[in-house]
Structure 1
C-alpha cells in the first residue's frame, strides 16, 4: 500500500499533480519503466525520502511505458530520470541512480527550513500586536538559521515593535546590497520613524534634567520609567544600574530593575546580559 504522498502519474492527474500539488509541497517526479533495473534500484530510495518528508514532499511515479506521451512531453531521454517541481516549475533534476543522502542534499534548498514555522508564528503575533511573543518567536527563528533572510526581516520588524532600534539597525546593516528590496526599504523607514518617535522633546528635556541631577533618585527612576515606555529599555536599564552601583541596598531601585528585566520578552538578549550583570553585582 502506497503512502498518501506517493502517487502514480497519468494523463488524467498530471496537471493536478504538477500545478496544484507543487504549490503546496515539492513534487518529485520519478520517470521509470518496468524493464529498467536502475529504476528498480532507485525507487526504494525515493520512497524512503517520501516517507521521511510526508508533509513536504510528494513522490509522483510516471511509468514511461504506460505514459509514453507524457514522457515525450517532458523530453525524457534516459531512465531513470528524476525531476523536482515547485510552484508548477522544474527546479532541479538528475539522471541515473543516486544515494539517499545525495538526493536529500539536492532537496534541501527546496524544502521548508526549520525556522519557517517560527517565522509564520512571529508574523501572526506581529499582526495581532502581541509584540513580546512575536519577538520571542522571531529570535528563535533567527537563532535556528541566521542566514534565513525572512527570519532576519521578521526579527527586525519585531525589534522595531519592541523598541530595539539599535538591534534593528545592526540587522539591517547585515543585509547585503543584493537583498535590499522593497521590504528592506520599508523596514529601514520604520526604524527611522521609530527613532524619531522615541526621542520626543519632552523626554529629551527630562533626560537632560536627570543628567544634571544624578543624585536625585526619584528623578532617575522617573526617567527610567519614561525611557522604558518609549521602548528605550537598554537606556533605562543602564540608568537603574548606575543607581544600584551607588547604593546596592536601595530596594526601590532593585525592584524597578527586576521589574524591567521581567518585562523583557523571552529570548531578548538584553535580558540575559543584564541579568548576568545584576547577579554579578549582587552576589
Structure 2
C-alpha cells in the first residue's frame, strides 16, 4: 500500500481498517476551496516522506467525494476544515480540528509512532531490501547512536555490518548483546559471522600475502593481493596494499582507480574512507 491515498467508497475499508499496530493512518478532510487545507496538505506530504513505513496519509476530498465526506464527517463530528483523524489499528486515537503546524502534528504523532531508533531500523531494513547497503549502514548507525543498549538495534546493525563485510564491527556489536537477548536471530548472525571470518582467511589470500612479503617491490602482486582483500571484505587492508603501490608508482596499472573505487564503496562518513582519502591527497599534493 502506498502511503499517500485518496479515499473512495471502494478502498476506504481496506485503508482505514489497517491491522498493522505500528502503522498510523492520518485521515485528512480536504477541500481545494480552503487555503488552510492546501497548506496542511503540504505538511502531510512532508510527513509522509519522513515516515514512509510508519504512516499512511488518507485524504477525503470533500469536493470530489461529497457523499463519502458527509458520512465520515458525521462519524467524527467534523466542525472545521481541515480536520485530521489519527487511526491506529483501525481505531481513532486522536482528532485534530482546524489548521495545525507541522510541529503540532508531529507532537501528536510521536505519542503513537514507534521510538526513533525503531523507525530508523525500519528505514535501514527497507534500504537493505532495496540493495542500498551503504544507506542501510548509515541508518542503522544512526539508530545505534540513539539507543546503543537496544538489543534489536545491535542485532540489525550487526546483520548489516556482516552483509557489507565490516566483520570486526559486527563482532563487537554481537559481543555486546546481553545474554537474555541472544535469540535465534543472534545465533544465525553468529554463524554468518564465522563464515565471513573464514572467508577472510582463504588459501588464495594467504598465498598472495606470502608472495607480497617475499617480493615487496612487485607491484602487480600487491594489486592482486588488494583485489583478494576486497573480495574477502578486508577493504582497509586492500587500501593499504594499494597505497603502497601508489607511493612507488602513482600511475601503475589500475591501482589508483581501484583505490578510489574502494573508497567510493564505503558508507558515507566512514572513518576508513576519510583516512585513506587523506593519505592519497598527501601523495598528490
Class of the TM-score when normalised by the shorter of the 2 chains: 0.5 to 0.7
**Gaps (5+ residues) in structure 1?**
1-19, 27-52, 57-85, 88-106
- Please state whether the residue corresponding to 2:21 is helix, strand or coil: helix
Q: Give the equivalent residue in structure 2 for 1:65.
A: none
Q: How does 1:17-166 map to 2 (within 5 A)?
A: 23-24=21-22, 111-166=113-168
Residue 270 of structure 2: aligned partner: 268
CA 1:124–1:250: 2 relative to 1, 3 Å: same
Residue pair 1:224, 1:236 contacting (<8 A) in 2 also:
yes
- Which residue pairs with 2:175 in the alignment? 173
TM-score, normalization: structure 1?
A: 0.56
- Would the alpha carbon gap of residues 185 and 267 (structure 1) be closer, same or farther in structure 2, given more than 3 Å must change? farther
The answer for the alignment partner of 2:257 in structure 1 is 255
Counterpart CA distance in 1 for 2:279 and 2:111 is 41
Indicate the RMSD between aligned Cα atoms, in angstroms. Answer: 3.8
1:228 aligns with 2:204: no
Per-residue deviation, 1:219: 1.0
1:124–1:275 Cα change, 3 Å: same
* SS of aligned partner of 1:188: helix
CA–CA distance in structure 2, aligned partners of residues 192 and 264 of structure 1: 22
Mapped to 1, the partners of 2:19 and 2:171 lie a distance apart of: 39
- Cα separation, 1, equivalents of 2:120 and 2:269: 13
Contact kept? 1:248, 1:282, Cα under 8 Å = no
* 2-structure distance, mates of 1:152, 1:282: 39
Cα gap change, 1:235 to 1:109, in 2 (>3 Å): farther
The number of residues matched between the two structures is: 195
**d(CA) in 2 for partners of 1:277 and 1:25?**
47
Shift of 1:250: 4.5
**Residues 154, 173 of structure 2: 8 Å contact kept:** yes
Instruction: Check conservation: 2:246, 2:252, Cα contact below 8 A.
Output: no
Distance 1:274 1:109, change over 3 A: farther
Deviations 1:5-34 (A, max 9, x none): xxxxxxxxxxxxxxx8893479xxxxxxxx
2:188 to 176, 186, 189: 186
2:215 matched to 1:213? Answer: yes
1:136/1:268 contact within 8 Å kept: no
Separation of aligned partners in 2, 1:110 and 1:176 = 28
2:202 is matched with 200
Bigger Rg, structure 1 or 2: 1
**Mapped partners of 2:228, 2:20: distance in 1:** 52
- Structure 2 gap segments, 5+ residues each: 1-17, 25-46, 55-87, 90-108
